[in-house]
Amino acid sequence: MTKAISPRSRKVRILATLGPASNTPEMIERLFHAGADAFRINMSHGDQASKIPVFQAIRALEKKLGRPSTILADLQGPKLRVGKFAEGKVTLIAGHEFTLDRDSAPGDATRVELPHREIFEAAVADARLLLDDGKLVLRVTSAQPDRLTCRVEVGGALSNNKGLNVPDMVLPMAALTEKDRSDLAFAVEQGADWIALSFVQRPEDLMEARRLIGGKAALLAKIEKPSAIARLEEIVEQCDGVMVARGDLGVELPPQTVPPLQKRIVETARRLGRPVIVATQMLESMIESPSPTRAEVSDVATAVYDGADAIMLSAESAAGQWPIESVAMMNSIADAVERDPTHGDRVHFTITRPDPTTADALSEAAKNIASTVSAAAILCFTSSGSTARRIARERPSVPIMVLTPKIETARRLGLLWGVHAVHTRDVDSFEEMVAKSKRMALRHHIGKAGDRLILCAGVPFRTPGSTNVLHVVTLVGDELKNHRGDSEGA
């Protein structure tokens, strides 16, 4: 049997994006050892065939290490772009008029094609249009079915096919394009554990993706539109997890509003028991530099103090010059923050009141008992992962070891705060649960002789959603003696 790997010392998870700088089997393993807990595959870049070896390399590493691996496939979503210019590029001057229309003829300094009828349907006078990641700003002065007359508020160079953001509109368009549907089917077929949906504007946007996934992966909503903020709680309730996609939020909203919104999204997700990822530009300077700025270190630390489940690297690990160093730096920042004596108090600034259910009551009790008796860990048996999510929501001071007979569940839990998931055979009796919990705690170095463990499970066993048992045990230390093993992965 593969030797068990000890849990991470920190509780926040690290999600590393794979790309040209990091998508070989050797680099993926180095990223793991540097601190990456889960891997993001960006479906916006490259074709599907090029991603098959990446999926395979992650799963091969899972087998080699004997530890469930977590894959998040991030869909591109609708991309709004202007058309082409006759000269390839123009300069817009502040105060001048500029028109967006449905004419496919090459543009000039006075007009250009906008090939998105949905924008014409939603546009109203005084709405802002942001071009090239917000570098240029237009203000609509007149909106007609096939023509938007605008005033240039912030000018500059504009070239072919530059992106467009519409912060003041809810567009009548689906969150999934044909490319997204194809990429989603491909990612599910390859065994992705999470599907991230871009451009979410309203809770209804999640319905088609949920149907297409068919229960084969968890669904994550990227919060990157002002319209999503307006219905944040409804969106969080409809998905399995959320991402604070600060890149587009920072384009469509004034930058000073993004930090409080980040805290609001994290708080909402935590309160509703959904894992939350803070993403984009966390260690941006490490794309080219071997060390981050002080501001970036503080930014990562803030997300950890806020109690985010995971923090994400984008181009830093995907295309930068220092992918391993970026992951190692994020790992060291998180470790330092979690060693801060005030960290435990800070992550509980968000009040997570339990729902009036037995499972929620036991999860809160498990956290409190673990603290009171100085337990080494909380262990839970789960089939669906719901018990683990409830316990993680409470942000206990000790590690959460999850034992599950479903490898799919173990993999999905890789984005959950404080969770060390183990794929192992299920148990059939209370006595077997206690004995197995002790052995697993010793084998995974999560406890030693004399340590107390808090066990959480449901009786009868093999019944999803039946969490009703909380039990405290003490490790003797010889539970592994004369025992052949627990068939992890069986």
Residue 56 confidence (pLDDT): 98
Q: What backbone torsions phi and psi does residue 55 show, to the nearest 5 degrees?
A: -55, -45
Q: Give the Cα separation of 27 and 250 in Å (integer).
A: 31
Of 222, 246, 390, 395, which one is the catalytic site residue?
222
- Per-residue confidence band for 349, with pLDDT thresholds at 50, 70 and 90: confident
Q: Give the Cα separation of 300 and 285 in Å (integer).
A: 13
Residue 4 confidence (pLDDT): 66
Q: Is 280 a catalytic residue?
A: yes
**Percent of the chain at pLDDT above 90?**
80
Over the stretch 474-485, which tens digit does the pLDDT of each residue have? 999 888 887 765
Position 488 pLDDT exceeds 80: no
Of 17, 70, 268, 280, which one is the catalytic site residue?
280
- Mean pLDDT for 394-415 is 95
- Per-residue confidence band for 205, with pLDDT thresholds at 50, 70 and 90: very high
Position 174 pLDDT exceeds 90: no
Position 464 pLDDT exceeds 70: no
- Mean pLDDT for 411-417 is 97
- Mean pLDDT for 59-71 is 96
- Per-residue confidence band for 486, with pLDDT thresholds at 50, 70 and 90: low
Residue 490 confidence (pLDDT): 37
Over the stretch 257-283, which tens digit does the pLDDT of each residue have? 999 999 999 999 999 999 999 999 999
- Mean pLDDT for 147-172 is 94
Q: Is 81 a catalytic residue?
A: yes
H/E stretch holding 18 reads strand 13-18
* Cis amide leading into 399 (omega within 30): no
Residue 95 confidence (pLDDT): 97
- Per-residue confidence band for 423, with pLDDT thresholds at 50, 70 and 90: very high
| DSSP per residue, 321-372 | S-HHHHHHHHHHHHHHHHHSTTHHHHTTSS--PPPSSHHHHHHHHHHHHHHH
Q: Is 466 exposed, middle or buried (0-12, 13-18, 19+ CB in 10 A)?
A: middle
* Helices (runs of H) and strands (runs of E) counted in the chain: 17, 21
Residue 356 confidence (pLDDT): 81
Of 40, 270, 395, 411, which one is the catalytic site residue?
40
- Classify 285 as helix, strand or coil: helix
Of 30, 59, 79, 81, which one is the catalytic site residue?
81
- Per-residue confidence band for 466, with pLDDT thresholds at 50, 70 and 90: low
Over the stretch 75-103, which tens digit does the pLDDT of each residue have? 999 989 999 999 999 999 999 999 999 99
DSSP 9: S
Over the stretch 98-156, which tens digit does the pLDDT of each residue have? 999 999 999 999 999 999 999 999 999 999 999 998 999 999 999 999 999 999 999 99
Residue 465 confidence (pLDDT): 61
Position 2 pLDDT exceeds 60: no
Q: Strand 164-165 and strand 128-131: pairing?
A: antiparallel
Position 46 pLDDT exceeds 80: yes
Position 489 pLDDT exceeds 60: no
Residue 469 confidence (pLDDT): 85
**Percent of the chain at pLDDT above 70?**
96
